[in-house]
Amino acid sequence: MFSRRLLKAPAALTPATLLRPFSSSTILFRTPALSDVTSEGVKSFEVKQKEFRQKLADAKKSSESTANSPGASAEANEEEDSKRKGKLSSLIYGTKEGREMEREMEQSFSQVLARGKYVHSIVFHDVKPDKVDEYTELVGKWYPKMAGMPENKVHLVGSWRTEVGDCDTFVHIWEYQRYHGYHDSLHSISQHPDFPAFDKKLKSLITAKRTSLMQEFSFWPTTSPRQLGGVFELRSYTLHPGNLLEWETHWRRGLGARRQVMEGVGAWFVQIGDLNTVHHLWQFADLEERKVRREQSWSVEGWGDTVHKTVPLIQSMKSKILIPMPWSPVA
């Protein structure tokens, strides 16, 4: 659908900088490849990972300190009291508009699983092999431009190219304020004077496009923009119908074990499109580190039990190794 930008990691995380910032930078049209990743990047990845987690923790403490200070308004204190179960989540995504929508939401099955304020789309473009660089240039100009326009009411979580799996398939994840926001965003973008030319050109570069609408699991909020480097793994599970709630229950416990050794980006379940599908996105310094980290998971208490209980729920599964595009906010 929409845009491209090279996002630099913020120097310090504050409530303002955690609201998915976007900034313009030099456009790079060379398509990234797995060969760009070397083992020398492992140490850099670990340093950036530690800094990112520390900044999140510091921002959380700062928010709590401000809310509990004598000068905090009654309204702020009341708001914090109502958000005790998700202060960090509120910090990253807690706009006034979003909080109002959350209060209005009715109880439903999806709300048991998801935070509910956000709808995410996952878009797959199968690009013609000889058109990859042309596609990179086209989308690299358009996506950041659309994501950077406030009237479009959309955030680009990230853009990636598949290097192991369905090669030359590009994956894009977008975030909207519920389904009303999704409709409004599509309408706004379609009215842009340059959209017809972009759409026509895009169709000449791809062989297929697949889109699903999904929500993130409440226990695993989508990460804010960050630049750790390395590679990503998108693991997609098709569950036997009726097993989504049980999957969520086991993974809610298992994620705590996995997070001790692995860096998660987000987890979503499809509501429209490929039903009974769950997507988990992970980030690693390189493929060797992926192997090491996954092996380390088995030594963490609780992980073996999670695998034992979730494997019978799976009908089929796929894994893709992804490389972030130059404009991807999460890279």
Give the pLDDT of residue 22: 36
Q: What is the mean pLDDT of residues 162-182?
A: 95
Element (H, E) at 42: helix 41-67
Contact between residue 148 and residue 321 where contact means Cβ atoms under 8 Å apart:
no
More confident site: 188 or 5 = 188
Residue 50: the pLDDT is: 72
Cα–Cα distances in angstroms (integers) from residue 13 to residues 5, 9, 21, 83, in the given order: 20, 9, 11, 20
Average pLDDT over residues 230-252: 95
Burial category of 149 from C-beta neighbours within 10 Å (exposed 0-12, middle 13-18, buried 19 and up) = middle
Banded model confidence at residue 241, pLDDT cuts 50, 70, 90: very high
Residue 57 has pLDDT above 80, yes or no: no
Query: pTM for the full model?
Result: 0.71
pLDDT single digits (tens) 256-267: 888 888 889 999
pLDDT recorded at residue 258: 86
User: Going along 24-82, which residue ranges are E strands?
Assistant: none
d(CA 5, CA 140): 7
Q: Which of 27-36, 295-304, 320-329 has the lowest mean pLDDT?
A: 27-36
Asked if the model's pLDDT at residue 163 lies above 90, the reply is: yes
- 187 or 5: which leads in pLDDT: 187
Torsion angle defined by CA atoms of residues 236, 233, 25 and 137, in that order, rounded to the nearest 10 degrees? -70
Q: Of 208, 209, 215, 210, whose CA–CA distance to 279 is shortest? A: 215
Per this entry, what is the length of the chain? 331
pLDDT at 100: 52
CA 291 to chain centre: 22
Would the pLDDT of 92 be above 80?
Answer: no
Domains of the chain, residue spans: 34-324
List the single range of 87-91, 231-235, 255-259, 280-284 with lowest mean pLDDT.
87-91
- CATH number for the segment(s) 34-324: 3.30.70.100
Based on C-alpha coordinates, what's the Rg of the chain? 20
